């Protein structure tokens, strides 16, 4: 009876879980920093960017995760970079666009670089680990 119910009626009530890949990557990054790099890096939530990573020299890396092939992601980073520039903080800072796509349109890369935003590959766990390892050096 349960099998018949599931086959003909029950499946209609199942909710598909919508998993945002950017949210997953943010969680994985925070977990990686807190486990593998806890003595060298700190990560903080930010009101403007996805997160801020402090390296060993206390340089702040303002980071947004997105795809270079997504105009909305690139525009968001540019907008947030400009919004931040109006703040009064004068400490050492870096702006990183963490690219999760394999596509790298030249227009997007040039636009980000002109605005002093580094384009960082961020499309796999291994690449993310290497990026964080570079911040430790």
| CATH code of residue 113 | 3.40.1560
* Helix H or strand E encompassing 60: strand 60-66
- Does residue 12 sit within a domain? no
- Does residue 60 sit within a domain? yes
Quote the domain boundaries for residue 41.
Answer: 20-136
28 contacts: CB under 8 Å, gap ≥ 6:
125, 128
Q: Per the structure, how many domains does the chain have? A: 1
- Does residue 5 sit within a domain? no
- Does residue 1 sit within a domain? no
Q: Tell me the backbone φ, ψ of residue 43, rounded to 5 degrees.
A: -125, 140
Instruction: Quote the pLDDT of residue 85.
Output: 75
Q: 55, 42 in Cβ contact below 8 A? A: no
- Does residue 14 sit within a domain? no
Instruction: Quote the pLDDT of residue 14.
Output: 66
- Does residue 120 sit within a domain? yes
Q: Residue 88: pLDDT above 70? A: no
- Does residue 2 sit within a domain? no
Instruction: Quote the pLDDT of residue 72.
Output: 95
- Does residue 69 sit within a domain? yes
Q: Residue 70: pLDDT above 70? A: yes
Question: Structure pTM?
Answer: 0.81
Instruction: Quote the pLDDT of residue 34.
Output: 94
Q: 78, 110 in Cβ contact below 8 A? A: no
């Amino acid at each position: 009876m349960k099998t018949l119910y599931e086959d003909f009626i029950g499946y209609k009530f199942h909710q598909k879980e919508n998993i945002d890949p950017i949210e997953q990557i943010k969680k994985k990054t925070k977990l990686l920093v807190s486990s593998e790099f806890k003595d060298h890096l700190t990560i903080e939530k930010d009101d403007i960017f996805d997160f801020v990573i402090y390296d060993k020299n206390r340089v702040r890396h303002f980071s947004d995760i997105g795809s270079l092939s997504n105009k909305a992601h690139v525009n968001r980073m540019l907008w947030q970079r400009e919004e931040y520039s109006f703040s009064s903080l004068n400490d050492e800072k870096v702006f990183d666009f963490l690219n999760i796509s394999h596509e790298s349109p030249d227009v997007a890369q040039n636009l980000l670089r002109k605005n002093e935003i580094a384009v960082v590959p961020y499309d796999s766990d291994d690449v993310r680990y290497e990026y964080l390892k570079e911040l430790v050096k």
